[in-house]
Structure 1
Amino acid sequence: MNFLAIDDDPLCLDDLRLTLAEAAPDCCCACFSSPAQALAYAQTHPIDAAFLDIEMGDVSGLALAKQLKDLQPDLHVIFVTGYEKYAVSAFALHASGYLLKPVDTDELKRELTFLYGDIPAPHAIRVQTFGGFEVWVNGAPLAFSRAKAKELFACLIDRRGAGLTTREACSLLWEDGVYNIARKNYFQTIVHDLRSTLRQAGIEHILVKSHNSISVRADEFDCDSYRFLDGEPQAVNSYRHNYLPSYSWAEFSVGKMEGL
């Protein structure tokens, strides 16, 4: 689902963003403190629901709602305000919902369930590449027994489903190392260790191993950099030039990402 959140108070906007992320973890939420910027965004991006403050300086959320509905008649408008007095006016505009600040996660879930039915559960596997490489399975951090196994998994995430040969993997994991039988054998130990780690977590299925290639099933997990490359506003806004900072081989991908 694609959401739009607009509030001229940065703290309230951030609180709404976090509440939306808790209520609908797989949603894509574009947040704006400027109504004009939000309106420009709505001209080129599909929106399922817009969450609007009502009092925003010189701009009325009620007027903005009408402009958004003119652009996208099917979108739902949910007003988020600190005042009950606007409820009649809001529903006169056929608003889908009316929430009082601070927004409670359960109340927001009820509102979304009323509009869309049950909200899909988030991915069981979540991968973080911005600010450091970490993996969570059902909310628990995945512990790697070898640093090289963790780095290999980061390499595979970076490939986004493309295969990585043994020689390519060794050149990335040991940049100055000699590629020989001993290195190949040690690499197989790393692969075995990675598979064991994933198996213990119940997610070995995301690893694809062929004769001389290894890859991941990129559609089996949520990844911040994948969402960034897909243009998701929340992921784009969270990027701070910090993609896999611990691994020098990631610099090539950084160049591609920042050239977008």
Structure 2
Amino acid sequence: MKTIVVDDEKIALMTFMEEAKNIPELEVEGLFENAEEAVEYVKENKIDIAILDIEMHGIDGINLGNIFRRLNPKIMLIYITGYEKYAYEAIKLHAAAYLVKPFSSAQLEYAVETARLLSKRGKKKIFVRTFGHFDVFVDDEPIMFKSHKAKELLALLVDRRGGTVTTDQIIGTLWEERPNDQYTQNLCSKIGKTLEKELKENNIEHILVSARGIKRVNTSEFRCDFYDLVDGDEKAAEKFFGEYMLEYSWAEERMALLSKYI
């Protein structure tokens, strides 16, 4: 889990890294002695866990946690304190855990695991249906896409099962009759941004991974009947009647490969 640590004492940060080096789940993205710098980092980056010292000069850990929560309501907070009397303040912020100095590697690992489980519990349930017509369900409710082309782009990415898809490949599939010129590339870029916006409006933007000129879906963030089928799930096989993303002509190639499951 992507993590930052904020403590205004450099030696405390070094001690933390010594305790954290054997915890594989902990991906430390940044160590900050300055709270303001940490705030700027959280504004620009997706962070899963913030580990904060409560007593700091300037912005203290409790106020810093409040700021982080406003920037990212899903961020997990773990507090470090030298005094148990401050634990109540951490509890009021619904912190995942708090550690009293000095703490052991085992205690830190337990706190991180607690944060991971709480984060997982709070995630929305996402299911992508490809059998028949393509649809995306969030907590059992279908997303009502405003842009049919943005929805088709997502369908294409789902069909590639997490593999990267380039701008040229997207254009060749979604606009096969158009020349691959600057106008079509701008159109493709616009549809990509529209998809990002629609996913964000439904709080599932994390399923899409975008970089310059390429896109993919993060298949670990959702369930999909197509994926279940090819992975040998018997229940998925019972629900497959030989129809796959019926609204998209390019999906016929995949359907030919899936015919053996009928």
Please report the TM-score for the alignment, with normalisation by the length of structure 2: 0.52
Distance 1:170 1:231 in 2: 32
Other structure's SS at 2:247 match: coil
Counterpart residue type for residue 209 of structure 1: S
> Corresponding residue for 1:171?
172
Alignment of 1:40-51 (within 5 A): none
Residues 1:146 and 2:147 are matched in the alignment: yes
Q: Per-residue deviation at 1:252?
A: 1.2
Assess if the C-alpha contact under 8 Å between 1:143 and 1:197 holds in 2.
no
> Corresponding residue for 1:243?
244
Q: Per-residue deviation at 1:123?
A: 6.6
Distance 2:140 2:260 in 1: 33
Q: Which deviations, in whole Å up to 9, do the C-alpha atoms of 1:218-246 show, x marking residues without a partner?
A: 11101111101111111111111101011
Distance 1:190 1:143 in 2: 16
> Corresponding residue for 1:195?
196
> Corresponding residue for 2:39?
none
Q: Which deviations, in whole Å up to 9, do the C-alpha atoms of 1:22-54 show, x marking residues without a partner?
A: xxxxxxxxxxxxxxxxxxxxxxxxxxxxxxxxx
> Corresponding residue for 1:210?
211
Distance 2:214 2:149 in 1: 17
Distance 2:124 2:257 in 1: 26
Aligned residues: 141
Distance 1:205 1:234 in 2: 27
Structure 1 stretches lacking a partner, 5+ long: 1-119
> Corresponding residue for 2:23?
none
Q: Per-residue deviation at 1:189?
A: 0.6
Distance 2:204 2:224 in 1: 15
Distance 1:259 1:131 in 2: 16
Percent same amino acid at aligned positions? Answer: 36
> Corresponding residue for 1:19?
none
> Corresponding residue for 2:235?
234
> Corresponding residue for 2:104?
none
Distance 2:187 2:218 in 1: 24
Assess if the C-alpha contact under 8 Å between 1:123 and 1:222 holds in 2.
no
Distance 1:123 1:243, change over 3 A: farther
Assess if the C-alpha contact under 8 Å between 1:125 and 1:138 holds in 2.
yes
Assess if the C-alpha contact under 8 Å between 1:123 and 1:221 holds in 2.
no
Distance 1:197 1:238 in 2: 28
Distance 2:149 2:161 in 1: 19
Distance 2:245 2:140 in 1: 21
Q: Per-residue deviation at 1:210?
A: 1.2
Q: Per-residue deviation at 1:200?
A: 0.8
Residues 1:136 and 2:111 are matched in the alignment: no
Structure 2 stretches lacking a partner, 5+ long: 1-119
Q: Which deviations, in whole Å up to 9, do the C-alpha atoms of 1:175-231 show, x marking residues without a partner?
A: 211110000001111001000001011111111111111000011101111101111
Q: Per-residue deviation at 1:256?
A: 1.5
Q: Per-residue deviation at 1:259?
A: 4.0
Distance 1:123 1:205 in 2: 11
Q: Per-residue deviation at 1:258?
A: 1.8
> Corresponding residue for 2:221?
220
Q: Per-residue deviation at 1:146?
A: 0.8
Distance 1:233 1:202 in 2: 31
Distance 2:260 2:173 in 1: 22
Other structure's SS at 1:257 match: helix
Distance 2:250 2:164 in 1: 16
Assess if the C-alpha contact under 8 Å between 1:208 and 1:215 holds in 2.
yes
> Corresponding residue for 2:102?
none
Q: CA RMSD in A?
A: 1.7
> Corresponding residue for 2:162?
161
User: Which structure has more RCO (C-alpha within 8 Å, separation ≥ 6)?
Assistant: 1
Distance 2:127 2:256 in 1: 24
